[in-house]
Amino acid sequence: MAQADRRESTNDPARVAVTAAGVVSPLGFGLAETLESLRSARDCVTPVMRFAVTQCRCKTAGQVSDWRLLASYGQIPRSRRLHRASHMMIQALQELVTQQPEFEPELTVIGATSGGMSYGERYYRSLTGAGDLRHAPTWIANYPAQKPVTDAQTACGISAPCYVIANACASGTNAIGHAFECVRSGRYQRVLAGGYDALAEMVFLGFDSLQASTPEKCRPFDRHRSGMVLGEGAAVLALENLDSARARGASVLAEIIGYGISTDNFHITQPEPSGIGARQAMERALESAHVSAADIDYINAHGTATVFNDAAEGKAISALFNGVPVSSTKSMMGHSLGAAGSIEAVVCLLALQHQFLPANINFTTPDDGVDLNIVGNEPRSAVVDVALSNSFGFGGTNASVLMRKLEA
């Protein structure tokens, strides 16, 4: 090899492998349960029982089982003092570590929106209403957004420095994208990435007051959609330099190949109606990956089932892609905000591994003005080599990641 060629190859971006993943969501605990729910197109949205919703339009959410989530009591020091978000992160990270016990991250990047907001809310109400403040230290201690991350790392014996990205509903995808770029740049060999969010009464009431939540079924991209339902959960992925992973004999679940972001600067809660922000994020992900729109086999859409979001995202997808299968798995599990991008990245990972298209349930009538190939109501077997995952949030924050199946 000539000296110039050797220098050029040394400067090539590193390839980024996903070597393990862990997930907790309404779809289930772990990859196997999540896969089973996806293959059966299970509706995991249920009536809200954690707080009163009698005055709300929406009375349902995608919820993680408390009795299963808290089954780890006694195994973790002071576990009863931890927020539910910490338990979600602990269980997701424990699954990842079980798959790859030798994975030692140099950095952790996690997306979240509300942190321990429900505990902060309890403290504020007790303080202003002269309520019982006996539990105030626990509420305050669990409020910071990094607390579930540090709790999970402590439980799993990890001490990597941590970034928390709070970029609305794009947070989880931004975290994975940032971690991808950290490894791709060559600065890091192993980065832990993901996101979490727990259902909080204040957030639930906020979305309900905006009339963004629906009293009906969540039906993304359907002409008769009437709004979103909230969800919760956590997911983490082990990102590693592909050459390093292969050298140590690690299994490779998939490769992350591209990441794109944009900001609409249009409205605090509504996307730019033409879909230009969503389109720019997807175009930049394609450019980052050096692939074309024709190479994409599946799109896991942001698809919140709100009138404005689905219209804007639908226009962007229609303009870029010709007949690529699209689904929003939020129809099955709700919108988990900061966790959504990381959970949906796991959905894409499973679609690549098991060669199927997850369903967009509750779908009856195509939307006007867009040409989308919606995977309606039932999953499909398909050849899936490259999958695109979208996350778009309040304030016009848009993010897309691309994942590719790797042959053994």
Give the residue numbers marked as catalytic: 169, 302, 335
Tell me how far apart the alpha carbons of residues 21 and 33 are, in angstroms, rounded to a whole number.
13
Question: How many other CB atoms are there within 10 angstroms of residue 154's CB atom?
Answer: 14
Helices 117-128 and 201-209: crossing angle, nearest 10°?
A: 90
Tell me how far apart the alpha carbons of residues 136 and 148 are, in angstroms, rounded to a whole number.
18
Residue with tokens 């969503």: 278
Q: Which among 54, 230, 83 is positioned nearest to 151, based on CA atoms?
A: 83
Q: For residues 358, 361, 364 and 365, what is the CA-based torsion angle, rounded to 10 degrees?
A: -60
Burial class for 191, CB neighbours closer than 10 Å (0-12, 13-18, 19+): buried
What is the DSSP annotation of 171-238? HHHHHHHHHHHHHHTTS-SEEEEEEEE---HHHHHHHHHTT-B-SS---TTBTT---B-B--EEEEEE
Q: Which among 43, 153, 73 is positioned nearest to 107, based on CA atoms?
A: 153
351-368 core/surface letters (b: 16 or more CB in 10 A; e: else): bbeeebbbbbbbbeebbe
Tell me how far apart the alpha carbons of residues 32 and 391 are, in angstroms, rounded to a whole number.
24
Strand partners, 240: 17, 190
Determine the longest span between alpha carbons in the chain, in angstroms.
76
What is the DSSP annotation of 249-275? T----EEEEEEEEEE--S-SSS--TT-
Radius of gyration of the chain, Cα coordinates, nearest whole angstrom = 20
Residue with tokens 């979305």: 207
Tell me how far apart the alpha carbons of residues 208 and 227 are, in angstroms, rounded to a whole number.
10
CA 250 from centroid of its chain's CA atoms: 24
